[in-house]
Amino acid sequence: MAQANYVLPFIFGRLSFFLLLSIFLSLPLGHVAEEAGTLSRHCLENPPTLNSSYGAGSVKEIGGLKAYVTGHSHSKRAILLVSDVYGYEAPHLRKIADKVAQSGFYAVVPDFFYGDPFVVNSSTTKEAWLNTHGTDKGFEDAKPVIAALRETGILAVGAAGFCWGGNVVTKLAKTDLIKAAVLLHPSWITLDDIKAVKIPITILAGELDNGTPPKLLEQFESSLSEHKVTNFIKIYPKVKHGWTLRYNDTDATAVKAAEEAHNDMLQWLIKYV
Ligand SMILES: *[C@@H]1O[C@H](CO)[C@@H](O)[C@H](O)[C@H]1NC(C)=O
Ligand SMILES: *[C@@H]1O[C@H](CO)[C@@H](O)[C@H](O)[C@H]1NC(C)=O
Ligand SMILES: *[C@@H]1O[C@H](CO)[C@@H](O)[C@H](O)[C@H]1NC(C)=O
């Protein structure tokens, strides 16, 4: 486990801390168990103002999906960024894609929702929306995107997924389609999912995200290490589910916490893709 730059990381060596934390969280954990398969209650907070023209890149079709693409199309390495429920027009996500591109990757943010991201306060409930926008479909749709990238001469593809997208990337991580995976506050990941992961994977999780609580992450790490899968699990103190994308731009602490996770994501991709 690595040390964070600015804050003491909550690493798994600190078992007593986790024991206390999980006892402390036992009430909300029970609540989450009830909600398994639906969105974390922090999933929908601080929704982005979508902007179809945001970012340094452009939108084109790849493998049957529209996608925001940015960076060097002649790069031999591409990164698939899989969105949260708010989709590929979220400015913060495109900003991350532009940052990934600055490291020499071709960054691709597909529209897995076919122009129909989740909209807060619309007539569609989150349950109804999830029924028609499942992560299984997202996984199936990612395959032709990756194939299309390979046809253009890309030799290696990595993937990073946020919330909903973290679930899709976990499915990709069970295959040989990608070289490395990054899960940022992923949704609905089980130990069985993690047992099937085959490629280097990092999980960036929030201390206050009781969708993937520290106790579960500890099991993930044991399983990955037991199966000799290169892994790195980091719990960021005092942040909630969704903090890497839906941070408040004018809150310096929130921006710094998000950027720390973006940098950790990037280091993993640079090292393993
Ligand atoms: C959307 O992004 C474009 C390009 O960055 C910018 O010029 C425009 O002001 C943005 N629109 C809104 C509503 O923020
Ligand atoms: C959604 O509705 C709730 C309750 O009326 C309100 O508090 C919230 O600000 C609304 N959110 C958005 C993004 O419009
Ligand atoms: C964002 O942060 C600023 C500064 O901390 C605060 O004044 C503002 O209310 C926050 N906005 C939201 C939507 O939380």
CATH number of domain containing 264: 3.40.50.1820
Nearest ligand 3 atom to alpha carbon 248: 1
Characterize the bridge pairing of strands 180-184 and 201-206: parallel
Position 184 in a domain: yes
Is residue 7 a part of any domain in this protein? no
Residue with CA nearest ligand 1 atom 5 = 54
pLDDT digit string, tens, across residues 85-137: 999 999 999 999 999 999 999 999 999 999 999 999 899 999 999 999 999 99
Per-residue confidence (pLDDT) for residue 45, from 0 to 100: 83
- Whether 8 is in a domain gets the answer no
Q: For position 210, what pLDDT does the model report?
A: 84
Centre of ligand 1 to C-alpha 51, Å, is 6
Residues 6+ positions from 123 with CB-CB distance below 8 Å? none
In this structure, is residue 4 part of a structural domain? no
Domain membership flag for residue 79: yes
pLDDT at 28: 37
Residue ranges in the chain whose pLDDT is less than 70: 1-41
3-state secondary structure of 252: helix
Residue 21: its pLDDT value, please? Answer: 40
**Cα–Cα nearest to 159, from 63, 272, 57, 239:** 272
Residue 10 lies in a domain: no
Question: Is residue 249 in contact with ligand 3, taking CB distance under 6 Å?
Answer: no
Give residue for tokens 């609540």: 31
Strand order in the sheet with 201-206: 58-62, 65-71, 106-110, 77-82, 156-162, 180-184, 201-206, 231-236
Instruction: Kindly give the number of the ligand 2 atom that is closest to the alpha carbon of 47.
Output: 13
Ligand nearest to the CA of 249: 3
Domain count for the chain:
1
CA distances from 196 to 172, 189, 191, 201, 202 (A): 10, 12, 9, 12, 14
Instruction: Give residue 272's pLDDT.
Output: 98
Residue 9 lies in a domain: no
**Ligand 1, closest atom to CA 54?**
2
Is residue 3 one of the residues assigned to a domain?
Answer: no
Residue 162 lies in domain: 15-48+55-115+122-272
Q: How far apart are CA 162 and CA 147, in angstroms?
A: 22
- Helix %, strand %, coil % of the chain (to 5): 40, 15, 45
Which of 79, 42, 29, 22 has the alpha carbon at shortest distance from 163? 42
